[in-house]
């Protein structure tokens, strides 16, 4: 059992390892001199029980690993303002508190880690997430503290990895592709609006051009008129006008293709509206 250690202004070419230890009150920090940092090749915890507090600040660490270890209910592990090339916490349990804040991390992996207590993961700059499980864990922890903006960003990254997964079905891939197309997996409400509006204009033009016996494309280039086109567009994107479908067929002279496109427009608008609201509300949830 190690009860209290203070490490400052170190430059280790080798590793600082703790194997099968019970740790209490170990501190590695630099606060007095702003330009001084700890430089460590590797900080490793393997099979350890952290019952006290371990603070690591202002350190350049090539690899930080916390494997097969546990942060006890009374324990706290904190990393702040560090530059970490490789952050690994595998097959470990956090029953107490882990704070990872304001760090620059090149790659992070939390595969197999269980968070029973609290993980504070704020203000970090992450270059690469190693796997989808890591993103899912961080997303769920963000939702615990109602940080919906961070949760949405992590969810989008998670879905991008899932989209690249060859094991999922084509139907799931199609659903993910549509979510990415319309709103970037719920991140961008402007994209949702522009894509929905753009597709509505394109499909309405196709409905009048190839789906209407009354207003087909004129080879002379004569246009039906902007006012009438806008009126048709507004009628097409009105998802509540489906009960008036019979009147719409007669008014626009829709053939089979026109009728199909009419319903496709409704589906596009309904789905686009859902994606718009989903992305827009990420800043307003509580």
Burial class (CB in 10 A: 0-12, 13-18, 19+), 255: middle
Report angle CA 192, 198, 202 to the nearest 5 degrees: 145
pLDDT value of residue 217: 54
Tell me the pLDDT tens digit for each residue of 63-100.
999 999 999 999 999 999 999 999 999 999 999 999 99
260, 211 in Cβ contact below 8 A? yes
In terms of DSSP bridges, do strands 53-57 and 76-80 run parallel, antiparallel, or are they unpaired?
Answer: parallel
CA-nearest of 272, 270, 248, 271 to 259 is 248
pLDDT value of residue 62: 93
* 3-state SS, residue 251: helix
Cβ contacts of 254 within 8 Å, gap of 6 or more: 207, 211, 212, 213, 248, 262
* 3-state SS, residue 180: helix
pLDDT value of residue 129: 95
Q: Mark the ranges of the chain whose per-residue pLDDT is less than 50.
A: 219-221, 286
* CA quadruple 193, 196, 199, 204: dihedral sign: negative
Phi, psi of 220 (to 5 degrees): -80, -10
Cβ contacts of 119 within 8 Å, gap of 6 or more: 94, 97, 98, 100, 137, 138, 141
Determine what percent of the chain falls in helix, strand and coil, rounding each to the nearest 5.
40, 30, 30
Tell me the pLDDT tens digit for each residue of 260-271.
888 899 999 999
pLDDT value of residue 121: 93
């Amino acid at each position: 059992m190690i009860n209290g250690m203070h490490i400052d202004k170190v430059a280790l070419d080798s590793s600082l390892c703790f194997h099968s230890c019970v740790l209490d009150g170990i501190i590695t920090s630099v606060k007095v001199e702003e330009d001084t940092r700890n430089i460590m090749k590797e900080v490793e915890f393997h099979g350890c029980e952290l019952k006290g507090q371990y603070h690591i600040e202002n350190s350049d660490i090539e690899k930080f690993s916390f494997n097969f270890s546990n942060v006890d209910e009374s324990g706290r592990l904190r990393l702040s303002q560090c530059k970490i090339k490789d952050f690994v916490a595998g097959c470990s349990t956090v029953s107490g508190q882990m704070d990872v804040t304001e760090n620059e991390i090149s790659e992070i992996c939390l595969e197999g880690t269980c968070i029973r207590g609290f993980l504070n993961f704020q203000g970090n700059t992450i270059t690469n997430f190693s796997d989808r499980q890591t993103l899912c864990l961080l997303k769920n922890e963000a939702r615990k503290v109602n940080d919906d903006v961070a949760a949405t960003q992590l969810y989008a990254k998670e879905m991008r990895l899932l989209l690249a997964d060859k094991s999922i079905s084509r139907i799931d891939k199609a659903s993910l592709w549509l979510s990415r197309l319309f709103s970037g997996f719920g991140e961008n409400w402007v994209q949702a609006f522009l894509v929905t509006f753009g597709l509505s204009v394109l499909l309405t033009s196709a409905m009048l051009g190839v789906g209407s016996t009354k207003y087909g494309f004129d080879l002379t280039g004569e246009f039906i008129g902007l006012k009438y086109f806008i009126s048709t567009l507004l009628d097409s994107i009105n998802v509540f006008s489906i009960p008036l479908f019979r009147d719409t067929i007669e008014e626009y002279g829709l053939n089979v293709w026109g009728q199909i496109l009419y319903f496709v427009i409704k589906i596009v608008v309904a789905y686009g509206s859902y994606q718009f609201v989903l992305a827009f509300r990420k800043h307003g949830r509580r």
